[in-house]
Amino acid sequence: MRAKLDILALVLGFLGLFGTIAATAMPMWRVSAFIGANLIVMEDLWEGLWMSCWRQANIKMQCKVYDSLLSLPPELQAARGLMVFSIVLIVISLLITGCGVQKTICLGDNIKSKNIILALGGSLYLLSFLTTLIPVSWVGHTVIRNFYNPVVVDSEKRELGAALFLGWATSGILLITGIIILFSYCKRRSKEEDPYTDTQLMPLGDVQKDSSIYLERTPSSFHKHQEYV
């Protein structure tokens, strides 16, 4: 059962890694809202962490990398750094978790070291969950707030892009992965202690002492008669 949990955690970890990389690279973090005169002026507009893409009527979609990081709004600047940091965390978590799996040859039969490494990998997965959820939720909150803000003009209003939904799903996968790994660590931790403890050795000593009393030799009647003579 524990081996199946370890394999499931590794599979979910790879899914979380691919999902985080895809969400970071996708330009669809904020897309154009088809309201008001925006439908006539611009047919489609995507804004991502690294580039923006647009397409007008009868024109193929064109993408352009941002000229400067400082030109981005604060939420996209923070999202770029946090998502890259999340990818690095997931890669480290996969390597650490792979060394802590019960069937791996890493660390040999040192169960205690494997359990410590497994707990560290689960904690890093939970940290990567936060570093993925925070930027995605921040950008989503900003998009919704500006969409319902009457001060913002219609041409500057955006909607939630597909990258945000992928980021939310990926953060959920990372959370489940961390919980599974920590649960597996708790199960293995409970069986790490030596079954032969001092409390179990004490009765055995008493039994030996009692058995020695019963095995004690007593002088026979003939021996007593010889001593009397």
Beta strand pairing call for 51-55 and 44-47:
antiparallel
Give residue-wise pLDDT tens across range 116-129: 888 888 899 999 99
* Residue 58 reports pLDDT greater than 50: yes
Supply the CATH number for residue 70's domain.
Answer: 1.20.140.150
Number of domains in the chain: 1
| 209, part of any domain | no
Q: Is the pLDDT reported for residue 96 higher than 90?
A: no
Residue 150 domain flag: yes
**Mean pLDDT computed over 55-75:** 81
User: What distances in angstroms separate CA 159 from CA 4, 23, 30, 183, one per listed residue?
Assistant: 41, 16, 6, 38
Residue written as token pair 């024109």:
59
For the ranges 47-61, 157-171, 198-212, the lowest mean pLDDT is seen at: 198-212
Query: pTM for the complete prediction?
Result: 0.75
Whether residue 213 lies inside any domain: the answer is: no
For residues 85-114, give the mean pLDDT: 78
For residue 25, pLDDT over 70 is answered with: yes
Rounded to an integer, the average pLDDT of 209-218 is 49
Q: Is residue 115 part of a domain?
A: yes
The most confident of 108-117, 156-165, 188-197, by mean pLDDT: 156-165
Mean pLDDT for the chain overall: 78
Return d(Cα 63, Cα 163) in angstroms, integer: 16
Task: Let me know if residue 94 belongs to a domain.
Answer: yes
Residue 19: other Cβ atoms inside 10 A: 21
pLDDT above 90 for 137: yes
Is 82 contained in some domain?
yes
The reported pLDDT for the residue numbered 113 is 73
Task: Encode pLDDT of 26-55 as tens digits.
Answer: 989 998 876 654 444 556 788 889 998 887
Query: Would 218 be classed as within a structural domain?
Result: no
Query: In which domain, by residue range, is 81 found?
Result: 2-201
Question: Residues 125, 127, 131, 136: is their CA dihedral positive or negative?
Answer: positive
- Which pLDDT does position 125 carry in this prediction? 93
Alpha carbons 90 and 72: distance in angstroms, whole number: 26
Decide if 212 is inside a domain.
no
